[in-house]
Amino acid sequence: MFKSKNIIKPKRTFLGIIIRYFIDNLTKKFPLPKINPNKVSGLSVIFSITFVLTFGYSKIISFLFLFLVIFCDFLDGAISKRYYKKNIEGYIVDVTSDRISEGIIFSFFFFPWFYLFTLNIFLTIWSFLNKKHIILPLRQIFIIYFGFFVL
Amino acid sequence: MKYLIFMNTILHFLLSFVFVDIIFGNAKNYILPILLFSVIVDLDHIPYLLKVKKDLIKKRFGAESRSIFHELVGLFVFSLIFCISFFFLPLNLIRIISFCLVIHISIDFLFGTTRPFYPFSNKKIFLGLFSKRFIYLMDLFLTLILLIFVIGYV
């Protein structure tokens, strides 16, 4: 077992670094609130629950919640980058809330999303153990699918 | 004052029941699968209870009371089982039981102290969305309200 003090945050792949570079440049001038990024990650899980709860009643409202899920995911990374030193705790909270959020959404839209979600959990654990961050951006793909085929 | 920070097992079932009824609309027909899969991961508290016995008040239901089945590794194992079950069980049933299980883990993650990468790391996480006192009171209050609601509904 790893000792908590010695855990190193997994590094992004070349493609991940490029995407992060563009996002960081994009958000440089945006005013961001100085709040705990872990709470923002928690919010994305809550929005995922509200997304599936509202899906049967209004697809437009559920789409807005799905957008908020992805926005919170983007926001927690941006806040922690600007105000807090990125550490392993932030990484663990971020990836765990991402997987739980995916689990909630994709248990509802089961096939084929849940299979990809299962693969993503495996990749998350693999990334943590091998210090190389490789994850499928499933919710980002899903929102495009949702916008085109479900709405 | 210290508080027992965990969402009780009854509340897990009640929340899953209410959510399933809102989303799928027929929770009454699936009451047994909902009951089973909303509390199944809490079975790992039993070995912990047997281990600590009288020291429970002192040691409490912390992250240590949860086995790998409460964390990402457990979620992966259960997800694999659901993926295989998809070929043998009705889709709606699979959707409901997988949803109940994920909701259980998500509620524990949101309000409790967890070790997401256990057994690979012992790093404990508490999101701090609400104060521990508020979570404790909400746990009691929600359990009572939802229990009355679900009994009246069923």
In SS3 terms, chain A reads as CECHHHCCCCEECHHHHHHHHHHHHHHCCCCCCCCCHHHHHHHHHHHHHHHHHHHCCCHHHHHHHHHHHHHHHHHHHHHHHHHCCCCHHHHHHHHHHHHHHHHHHHHHCCCCHHHHHHHHHHHHHHHHHHCEECCCCHHHHHHHHHHHHHC
pLDDT value, residue B153: 87
In a domain, A15, yes or no: no
Residues of A in contact with B98 (CB under 8 A): 103, 107, 110, 114
In a domain, B1, yes or no: no
pLDDT value, residue B56: 62
Residue B6 backbone dihedrals phi, psi, to 5 degrees: -165, 150
- Residue B125, helix vs strand vs coil: strand
Task: Report, as an integer, the average pLDDT of B98-111.
Answer: 94
Query: Is the per-residue pLDDT at B60 higher than 70?
Result: no
Residue B125 backbone dihedrals phi, psi, to 5 degrees: -125, 130
List the single best residue of A1, A9, A99, A133 to mutate versus B (max B Cβ within 10 A). Answer: A99
Q: Which stretches of chain A drop beneath a pLDDT of 70?
A: 1-8, 86
The percentage of chain B sitting over the pLDDT mark of 90, rounded to a whole number, equals 56
Residues with Cβ within 8 Å of residue A51, at least 6 apart in sequence: A62, A65, A66, A69, A104, A105
Residues with Cβ within 8 Å of residue A87, at least 6 apart in sequence: A9
pLDDT value, residue B57: 60
Where does the pLDDT of residue B93 fall: very low under 50, low under 70, confident under 90, or very high at 90 and above?
very high
A117 vs B134, which has greater pLDDT?
Answer: A117
A53/B121 Cβ within 8 A: no
Residues of B in contact with A53 (CB under 8 A): 19, 22-23
In a domain, A94, yes or no: yes
pLDDT value, residue B65: 76
In a domain, B124, yes or no: yes
At what angle are helices A88-108 and B72-85 packed, to 10 degrees? 20
B75 close to A99: Cβ distance less than 8 angstroms: yes
Task: Report, as an integer, the average pLDDT of B75-86.
Answer: 96
In a domain, B82, yes or no: yes
The dihedral sign for the CA sequence A95, A101, A103, A106: negative
The percentage of chain A sitting over the pLDDT mark of 70, rounded to a whole number, equals 93
Task: Report, as an integer, the average pLDDT of B46-66.
Answer: 71
In a domain, B142, yes or no: yes
In a domain, A134, yes or no: yes
Nearest one of A41, A44, A105 to A77, comparing CA atoms: A41
In a domain, A1, yes or no: no
pLDDT value, residue B116: 94
Where does the pLDDT of residue B90 fall: very low under 50, low under 70, confident under 90, or very high at 90 and above?
very high
What are A50's two structure tokens? 């509200």
Where does the pLDDT of residue B7 fall: very low under 50, low under 70, confident under 90, or very high at 90 and above?
low
In a domain, A68, yes or no: yes
A88/B98 Cβ within 8 A: no
In a domain, B78, yes or no: yes
Residues of A in contact with B121 (CB under 8 A): 1-2, 4, 7, 92, 128
Task: Report, as an integer, the average pLDDT of B123-136.
Answer: 88
A118/B25 Cβ within 8 A: no
B53 vs B33, which has greater pLDDT?
Answer: B33
**Angle formed at CA A125 by CA A124 and CA A127, multiple of 5 degrees:** 65
| Range(s) of the domain holding residue A81 | 36-150
Query: Is the per-residue pLDDT at B1 higher than 50?
Result: no
Q: How many CB pairs under 8 A join A and B?
A: 118
A137 close to A117: Cβ distance less than 8 angstroms: no
- Residue B116, helix vs strand vs coil: coil
- In chain A, the number of structural domains is 1
| Range(s) of the domain holding residue B87 | 9-153
Cite the DSSP H helix spans in chain B: 9-23, 31-39, 45-52, 56-59, 72-85, 91-111, 132-153
> Tokens 């499933």 map to which residue?
A138
In a domain, A143, yes or no: yes
- In chain B, the number of structural domains is 1
In a domain, B2, yes or no: no
In a domain, A95, yes or no: yes
Query: Is the per-residue pLDDT at B37 higher than 90?
Result: yes
Residue B71 backbone dihedrals phi, psi, to 5 degrees: -115, -170
- The chain-wide mean pLDDT, for chain B, equals 87
